[in-house]
Amino acid sequence: MTITVTTWSMEQTSAADLRPADGPEPPAGIRVVRAELPSPAFNRFLYTAVGADVSWTDRLGWNHARWQAYLEQPGVETWVAYERGTPAGYIELEGQDEGQVEIAYFGLLPEFRGRRIGGLLLSYGTARAWDLAERWPHRPPTKRVWVHTCSLDGPHALANYERRGFRTFATVTGEEDKQLVEGPWPGAAR
Evaluate whether residue 24 is within a structural domain.
yes
Evaluate whether residue 189 is within a structural domain.
no
For residue 35, name the pLDDT band (cuts at 50, 70, 90).
very high
Whether the pLDDT of residue 70 is over 60: the answer is: yes
Give me the residues paired with residue 91 across strands. Answer: 79, 106
Instruction: Kindly report which listed range (17-21, 35-39, 140-144) carries the lowest average pLDDT score.
Output: 17-21
The pLDDT of 50-64, averaged and rounded, is: 89
Evaluate whether residue 42 is within a structural domain.
yes
What single DSSP character describes residue 112?
A: G
Whether the pLDDT of residue 165 is over 80: the answer is: yes
Alpha helices in the chain (DSSP H): 40-51, 64-71, 117-130, 132-135, 157-163
Evaluate whether residue 149 is within a structural domain.
no
CA distance linking residue 112 with residue 11, whole number of Å: 26
- Residue-level pLDDT at 152: 87
Give me the residues paired with residue 5 across strands. Answer: 174
Whether the pLDDT of residue 184 is over 70: the answer is: no
Q: Which domain holds residue 21?
A: 16-140
Evaluate whether residue 187 is within a structural domain.
no
pLDDT in tens, 97-121: 999 999 999 999 999 988 889 999 9
Whether the pLDDT of residue 189 is over 70: the answer is: no
Which pTM value belongs to this model?
0.90
For residue 66, name the pLDDT band (cuts at 50, 70, 90).
very high
Evaluate whether residue 72 is within a structural domain.
yes
CA distance linking residue 53 with residue 173, whole number of Å: 21
- Residues contacting 71, CB < 8 A, separation 6+: 38, 39, 40, 43, 78
Alpha helices in 12-58 (DSSP H): 40-51
Count of beta carbons in the 10 Å neighbourhood of residue 145: 29
The CATH number of whichever domain residue 131 belongs to comes to 3.40.630.30
Evaluate whether residue 35 is within a structural domain.
yes
Evaluate whether residue 112 is within a structural domain.
yes
The pLDDT of 168-179, averaged and rounded, is: 88
How many domains are there within the chain?
A: 1
- Residue-level pLDDT at 27: 64
